[in-house]
Amino acid sequence: MTMIFGVPMAVFMGQLTLGLVNGAFYALLSLGLAVIFGLLKIVNFAHGAQYMLGAFAALLAFNILGINYWLALVLVPLTVGGLSMLIERFLLRRIAHLDHLYGLLLTFGLALIFEGTLINWFGVSGARYATPEILQGGLNLGFMFLPTYRAWVLVAALAMCLFTWFMIERTRLGAYLRAGTENSQLMQAFGVNVPLLITLTYGFGVGLAAFAGVLAAPLYPVSPTMGSSLLIVVFAVVVIGGMGSILGAILTGLGMGVIEGLTKVYYPEAANTVIFLVMILVLMLRPAGLFGKEA
């Protein structure tokens, strides 16, 4: 059997795939966080809970309404994103003039409420969401066995990341978003409805989290706490990548997933901490992050 640095090829490739899939989730989530932070200047602590809501919405939509996975992949981000716009409009906007710390506290409180409510109804054990039939099984690539659903997650997450990149970097609405991130007051003096732009941006960022949640539903147990543990890692990824660039967030997300995955192969004990070690290193050497602009 082929060995890579003393590890069987199949094991190595398996962990690499796992790392890339995790990285794809990091990328989707950190992208949403970065977009929201850019315009609202709020660290959205509800992001993990909103990812969890995406997974739960897919689960409940299937169990109660019989809505299948593919439909859920479209409807759930729209619904969760749409409802989050109400949060922005009626809660976040009211405290927008205060210190941004209040936004952090408010979203943290919301996260606790979402989690607590769902724990109350469903407990913490978590439920299984069936993988859609067409994505069951796997491909034998010869050197490794590639589960179809993981491959799909990778493709779908990357496609969504690229779509986001395109929207922000190549469209007029994206130019508004970038300019508003720099100087929203001037944008308003040009006649741009900045409050509406803020609402849409929050909805979009949360929609990305919900999309990630639906993708995650067949992969991990759907439980009320699935978001909170992930969010801490995603924050570290955002710190490592910096707030400056969309592509930076995507690359950092994937890269950190891979580093985490490979650490599992060579030194499993450090797998849960390696990202935070990287974060400390980056903070010491490049405080603005790998892709961030120095202030």
| Cβ at position 50, least distance to another protein in Å | 26
Closest approach of another protein to the CB of residue 198, in Å: 12
* Beta carbon nearer to another protein, 121 or 190: 190
Closer residue to another protein in complex, CB, 162/182: 182
Stretch near another protein under the rule CB under 8 A, chosen from 109-117, 123-131, 174-182, 216-224:
174-182
Q: Which listed residue (99, 172, 269, 284) binds another protein by CB under 8 A?
A: 172
Where does this chain touch another protein (CB under 8 A) — which range of 137-145, 169-177, 255-263, 279-287?
169-177
Task: Output 125 or 185, the one with its CB closest to another protein.
Answer: 185
* Part in contact with another protein (CB under 8 A); list of ranges 154-162, 183-191, 204-212, 268-276: 183-191
* Count of residues in contact with another protein, rule CB under 8 A: 17
- CB closer to another protein out of 100 and 178: 178
Scan residues 35-74 and list those touching another protein (CB under 8 A): none
Closest CB to another protein among 90 and 121? 90
* Of residues 6, 31, 4, the one with CA closest to residue 243: 31
171 scored as a contact of another protein (CB under 8 A): no
Answer for the pair 40, 202: CB distance below 8 angstroms, yes or no. Answer: yes
Q: Which residues ranging from 188 to 217 are in contact with another protein (CB under 8 A)?
A: 188-194
Smaller CB separation from another protein, 193 or 272: 193
| Choices 57-65, 144-152, 187-195, 276-284 (CB under 8 A): range interacting with another protein | 187-195
Alpha-carbon gap, residue 6 to 12, rounded angstroms: 10
Does residue 294 bind another protein (CB under 8 A)? no
Does residue 181 touch another protein according to CB under 8 A?
yes
Q: CA–CA separation, 158 vs 37, rounded Å?
A: 21
Query: What letters, b where the CB count within 10 A reaches 16 and e where it falls short, cover 65-83?
Result: eebebeebbebbbebbbee
Output 159 or 182, the one with its CB closest to another protein: 182
Q: How far is the CB of 293 from another protein (least distance, A)?
A: 8
- From 153, 151, 175, 174, select the one nearest 164 (Cα to Cα): 174
Least distance CB 115 / another protein (angstroms)? 35
Closest CB 52 distance from another protein, rounded Å: 32
Q: Which is nearer to another protein, 66 or 191 (CB)?
A: 191
Applying CB under 8 A, the residues found at the interface with another protein are 172, 175-176, 178-179, 181-183, 185-186, 188-194
